[in-house]
Amino acid sequence: MKKALILVYDYPPYNSIGAHRPYSWYRYFKKFGLSPTIITRHWEDIQDASERNFTSTIQEIHTQLEEEGKTILVPYRANLRDKIIMKYGLNRFVALRKILSLIINVGQYYSFQLDSLAPIYTMAKEELRKEQYDIIIASGEPFVLFRHAALLSAKYNIPWVADYRDGWTTIEHIAYYNRIEKFLLKSVFTSIEKKLLQHVALITTASPNYKTALEKLHVDKRIEVIYNGYDDDLIEYNENAGTEEAFLKLAYPGTLYPYQPIEIFLEGLRLLKNQSPHLKLKVFFYGMNFNESQKNRVLQAANKNIIEHLIFTEKFSKTELYQLMQNTHLFILLGHESVKALAGKLFDYLLLKRQILFVQPDSGPQQTILEQCETGLFCEDALQVCGYLEKYYKAWENGEPFQHEAKNYQQFSRKVQAERMVGLINQIISPEHTTK
């Protein structure tokens, strides 16, 4: 069977979109003839986003062998900048940390001494000395993993794949970066990115708009879209879910980005509350306690008379989240006219068979998918948000069903996307690289 060596940073038990993407490859690749070996860091229970780069508690290498493949967990040691955060918190030595960030963020592409993920490279090199692999995959970010894969590819003459979960120097929300960050992206990291991918065999990315931007930078490379998708094997459907709730339940799981117009949704909710003072409605922001700044933004934007309708929770596992979200009546999706992102939560929404309240349609991939699947409630402004909320509130009061099955959504399962990924890899593995 052919074998893939996969370098990643985000990986379960750490709970993020970035972690579930390579985990789906681990779960499904072998079904399609490609045996995966994941090399990643030890992860513990992370309670706050600032802890993401803290030193791992376990400082030994662990290898796990399962039916799906092999996982190698390596120790992670925080760099000096993050050690300062660990000891003193986020409010002290800010200027010093900014200087260190600049040195580390650039220097890690030239020296392993400045690369916190160097143990992943070292472990990958040791694995390649022991066993024969047909393909190397690096999933970014962190994009320093692309350096690891490029070096290993050259050293062992194995083709490699660069997987972009987001853009790097082509990231769409660059307008929200400060001047120094913009300068570094355009004058320093663009050169680094092009050099690292000079001999890449294939580029994959999570969204069509990412592909369009990458094609302008890597003009001679093959670039394909592999969607994040949904995990249909992690859910047991309850056809009666939501019917016994004592309120209309809306949900927004995961990350809220600065460019996403949550304020428009909250203003629509405020308008509805003015019409219905005794409104029985709750909006669940699943996982938002994990990031205090996101939570504070929502609270600041919410008028005091709607705060009682907002519920913030800790993070849940994917399975737990699917079960909780089954009891939801409407899902919230946020667009932006100048940042045409593709939120991973959209695919979960399609699986869970509810309507999607899409605030500020963006003519981007989210809108395209909703239109293809014939689902979605498109809201340009707060008045339209209020109108749809009023309509579905009355439907809830009347006990009407909320099931809504999207059309043609099965193509977005993670299993289907993994099969497509394996198919692309098989096209670039030449006979001399095939494991006997």
> What's the CA gap between 30 and 53, in Å, rounded?
31
Q: How confident is the model at residue 174 (pLDDT cuts 50, 70, 90)?
A: confident
Helix (H, G, I), strand (E, B) or coil at 34: strand
- pLDDT(435) > 50: no
**Residue ranges making up the domain that contains 140:** 2-77+116-229+414-433
Q: Any long-range contacts for 314-317 (C-beta under 8 Å, 24+ apart)? A: 314/287, 314/289, 314/290, 315/15, 315/286, 315/287, 315/289, 315/290, 316/15, 316/286, 316/287, 317/15
**What's the rounded mean pLDDT across residues 170-180?**
77
Query: CB-hemisphere CA count at 13 Å for 430?
Result: 6
**What's the rounded mean pLDDT across residues 253-268?**
93
Exposure string (b/e) for 354-393, b if CB count within 10 Å is 16 or more? bbbbbbbbbebbbbebbeebebbbbbeebebbbbbbbebb
**What's the rounded mean pLDDT across residues 227-247?**
76
**What's the rounded mean pLDDT across residues 305-321?**
91
**What's the rounded mean pLDDT across residues 11-36?**
94
| pLDDT for res 183 | 85
**Angular region, 110: left φ>0, alpha ψ -120 to 50, beta rest:** alpha
From edge to edge, which strands make up the β-sheet containing 34-41? 62-65, 70-74, 34-41, 2-7, 135-140, 160-164, 202-205, 223-225
Q: Which of 24-28, 76-80, 107-111, 160-164 has the lowest mean pLDDT?
A: 76-80
> Which one is predicted more confidently, 182 or 235?
182
Chain centroid to Cα 111, Å, comes to 28
| pLDDT for res 238 | 65
Within-domain flag for 105: no
Residues with Cβ within 8 Å of 235's Cβ and at least 6 positions away in sequence, in order, are 319, 322, 323, 326, 351, 352
- pLDDT(436) > 50: no
Within-domain flag for 106: no
Within-domain flag for 399: yes
Q: How far is CA 77 from CA 86, 140, 146, 271, in A?
A: 12, 19, 20, 50
Q: Are residues 141 and 276 in the same domain?
A: no
Within-domain flag for 210: yes
| Helix, strand, coil fractions of the chain, as percent rounded to 5 | 45, 15, 40
Helical H segments across 241-360, by residue range: 262-275, 292-301, 318-325, 345-351
**What's the rounded mean pLDDT across residues 44-69?**
86
**What's the rounded mean pLDDT across residues 346-374?**
93
Q: Are residues 308 and 376 in the same domain?
A: yes
**What's the rounded mean pLDDT across residues 160-172?**
92
Q: Are residues 204 and 348 in the same domain?
A: no
**Angular region, 93: left φ>0, alpha ψ -120 to 50, beta rest:** left
- The answer to whether 256 and 294 have CB atoms below 8 angstroms apart is yes
Residues with Cβ within 8 Å of 423's Cβ and at least 6 positions away in sequence, in order, are 32
CATH number reported for the structural domain that contains residue 374 in this entry: 3.40.50.2000
- pLDDT(272) > 90: yes
> Which one is predicted more confidently, 305 or 148?
148
Of 182, 185, 344, the closest CA to residue 252 belongs to 344
Within-domain flag for 110: no
Q: Are residues 210 and 238 in the same domain?
A: no
Q: Are residues 236 and 225 in the same domain?
A: no
Backbone angles phi, psi at 23, to 5 degrees: -65, -35
> What's the CA gap between 168 and 118, in Å, rounded?
20
> Which one is predicted more confidently, 163 or 315?
163
| pLDDT for res 433 | 44
Q: Are residues 205 and 256 in the same domain?
A: no
Q: Are residues 221 and 239 in the same domain?
A: no
**What's the rounded mean pLDDT across residues 253-257?**
91
Average pLDDT, the chain: 91
249, β-bridge pairs: 282
> Which one is predicted more confidently, 197 or 171?
197
Q: State the helix-helix crossing angle for 365-372 and 208-217, rounded to 10 degrees.
A: 140
Q: For 65-113, write each residue's pLDDT tens digit.
A: 999 999 999 999 988 888 888 888 888 888 998 899 889 999 999 999 9
- The answer to whether 356 and 370 have CB atoms below 8 angstroms apart is yes
Within-domain flag for 92: no
Q: Are residues 258 and 383 in the same domain?
A: yes
Tokens of 413: 């399962």
| pLDDT for res 430 | 62
Tokens of 36: 């995966």
Q: Are residues 389 and 426 in the same domain?
A: no
> What's the CA gap between 209 and 6, in Å, rounded?
24
> Which one is predicted more confidently, 163 or 174?
163
Q: How far is CA 147 from CA 136, 155, 181, 219, in A?
A: 12, 12, 20, 20
* Percent of the chain topping pLDDT 90: 68
Q: Are residues 273 and 308 in the same domain?
A: yes
Within-domain flag for 94: no
Within-domain flag for 371: yes
| pLDDT for res 242 | 56
Q: Are residues 170 and 260 in the same domain?
A: no
- pLDDT(45) > 90: no
> What's the CA gap between 382 and 272, in Å, rounded?
10
Q: Are residues 215 and 240 in the same domain?
A: no
Q: How confident is the model at residue 235 (pLDDT cuts 50, 70, 90)?
A: confident
Total of domains in the chain: 2
| pLDDT for res 94 | 86
